[in-house]
Amino acid sequence: MFHPIELDRWERKDTFQNFMDLDCSYSVTQDLCVTPFHAHVRARGLRFYPAFSWAVLYAVNRHREFRMGLDGEGRPGYYDEIHAEYTVLDRRTGNMDSLNTAYRAAFSEFYAAMSADLERFERDGTRTVSRENSVLLSCVPWFTYTGLSFHMKSNLSFLRPMFVWGRYRRQGEELLMPFTIQAHHAAADGYHCHLLFADLERVLREPENYLK
């Protein structure tokens, strides 16, 4: 469900309007340590992509700032729950496509659903229905990177954040993976990115407590 926000009663009103007027988005890239998470996923014979996608969605759904959108009248608001819209490579054509899987709070349920959607697409190209209340997830497993940003004609009607991660690399005994948040500044500040990173990193450090 979408909940419109009453601007005059919203503590973020001035900040929201200022950054909407500026049409300002930004991206933040940070290396994440995925050593325990990767080991846990591998030991259980799981695919990294759907497992990590759940971890991102878990963090996103804990923060209203990353569940923002605009309704048909252009009013800002937030969704109760956010789902996954994610890129997938069509190996038949070499082109990228996108699928959508509904978020489940239970990791095992989401993992099974996203894995099934991926397997159907890989088998016969079956697509899924897109949802307005979704965030954009993408993985570029072919290379690592130090920075990334998207450049759109206009961000004004696009409050949904994007999340991208690249190929992990070994540094000493750790596996590090670049992870990028792209957000509209009207919806979220750097402080909110810090909170989301903290929740995500907790899952990566303690996967046995979350991937159930």
pLDDT (tens digit per residue) in 114-136: 999 999 999 988 888 888 899 99
Listed in sequence order, the residues at least 6 apart from 170 whose beta carbon sits closer than 8 Å to its beta carbon are: 176
Q: pLDDT at position 153, please?
A: 67
The strand pairing partners of 79, in sequence order, are 2
Q: What is the reported pTM?
A: 0.95
Q: Are 134 and 67 in contact (CB under 8 A)?
A: no
Residues 6+ apart with CB under 8 A from 148: 27, 29, 164, 166, 178, 180, 182
